[in-house]
Amino acid sequence: MRISLDEAASLLRQGQVVAIPTETVYGLAADASNDAALQQIFAIKQRPADHPLIVHIADIDQVQHWVTAFPLLARKLAEAFWPGALTLVLPAQAHVSRVVRGGESTVALRVPSHPVALQLLKTSGLSVAAPSANLFTQLSPTTAAHVESGLGQAMPVLDGGPCTVGIESTIVAVLENAAHELEWRLLRPGMISEAEIARVAGIPQADVAHAQPAVPTPKVPGQHALHYSPRTPLQLFADSDALVAACAALTRQQVKLACLLIGDEALPRLPSLHIVRLPAAPTQVAEQLYGALHHLDSLQVERLLVQMPPDKPDWLAVRDRLSRAGHQ
Ligand code: TXA
Ligand code: MG
């Protein structure tokens, strides 16, 4: 059910859950300070309670309300990348709901850049916790229609058009090590790359292998191997040659197939009836990836064959999502 921005703001203030657009993926939003509202997110998504939520705030000035410390390193990242697809994990104030923190001592914060999301945060006067608006482990939605097909037509959705980044935000934890030096760790890759973060931070990512035992890397409970999955079994191929060979063999066995190819290289004619080709640029593939997978999943074939993009830093986030989608 599509709703207006004013309706979304008023539902959120009444403690209801609504789906909202962000530039990354659609989120299932609730007032981040209302435990009963937050519990509904977990119930609707069928998400385990120990998976913390990201709190979306209207601007950088609101960080102090949520955290016990906003170190310079984190401030530099926020100033460089907000509003935008970066989530910062920082030590939480005691008042931050345990439901949001999923039992962690930290809180994840992000200022989204989507104009409708920002306007909603301002109009409602709230900060909203929002995981992706899909059932636990399923594909994230990048359009209002994806939300409705995954969560049902009765779900109130604020339609902000298709998401332009297309995959979930980069998550970075900023922490102090045993020597009281600030360091950062990438908890989830996204379209803001490790290299861009290192450049702004002025230091490389902390070496996890040599981490002091006193400074555990915050866990990211949402980082399941099986995540972002279509319903159709999905098989990944390191290159198009391997995919073409598998396509021919499976077709001989009369397995119904659909294929996702990346790049525009010329290929021998594929027997598969359903082929989606994405461009060779990582940002464009990210933008279109979930839409392509939602489409392929709706074809009701027996198997999806997906070409992995090259193992290069620019493709890290897309490869991460595809690997998880392909994990059987
Ligand atoms: O782009 C995004 O980040 C989207 C949009 C809606 O903002 N949201 C999103 O939320 O992807 P979700 O719940 O699907 O993923 C949030 C991730 C999970 O892996 C969760 O475990 C992690 O953030 N997370 C949240 N709070 C955390 C914390 N305090 N410490 C470590 N990880 C945290
Ligand atoms: Mg998610």
The Å distance, Cα 261 to ligand 1 centre, comes to 28
Measured between alpha carbons, how far is 286 from 305 in angstroms, rounded to an integer? 18
* Nearest ligand, CA 139: 2
Closest ligand 1 atom to residue 169 Cα is: 1
The Å distance, Cα 52 to ligand 1 centre, comes to 7
Atom 31 of ligand 1: nearest residue by CA position:
220
Token match 């074939």: residue?
301
Ligand 1 in reach of 170 Cβ (< 6 A): no
Closest ligand 1 atom to residue 104 Cα is: 29
The Å distance, Cα 181 to ligand 2 centre, comes to 31
Ligand 1 in reach of 23 Cβ (< 6 A): no
Closest ligand 1 atom to residue 106 Cα is: 29
Closest ligand 1 atom to residue 85 Cα is: 1
Measured between alpha carbons, how far is 13 from 162 in angstroms, rounded to an integer? 25
Atom 21 of ligand 1: nearest residue by CA position:
222
Token match 């705030």: residue?
57
- Residue ranges with strand state E in 4-77: 18-20, 27-31, 54-56
The Å distance, Cα 55 to ligand 1 centre, comes to 9
Two tokens, residue 322: 């595809």
Tell me the residue length of the chain: 328
* Nearest ligand, CA 131: 1
Of 275, 328, 271, 284, whose CA–CA distance to 306 is shortest?
275
Sequence-distant (≥ 6) Cβ neighbours of residue 291 within 8 angstroms: 142, 143, 146, 162, 166
Q: What is the pLDDT along the chain (328 residues), one digit of tens a residue?
A: 999 999 999 999 999 999 999 999 999 999 999 999 999 999 999 999 889 999 999 999 999 999 999 999 999 999 999 999 999 999 999 999 999 999 999 999 999 999 999 999 999 999 999 999 999 989 999 999 999 999 999 999 999 999 999 999 999 999 988 898 999 999 999 999 999 999 999 999 998 655 544 444 555 555 555 567 788 999 999 988 999 999 999 999 999 999 999 988 888 887 767 999 999 999 999 999 999 999 999 999 999 999 999 999 999 999 999 999 986 5
Pairing of strands 303-307, 257-262: parallel
Two tokens, residue 20: 């909202």
pTM for this predicted structure: 0.94
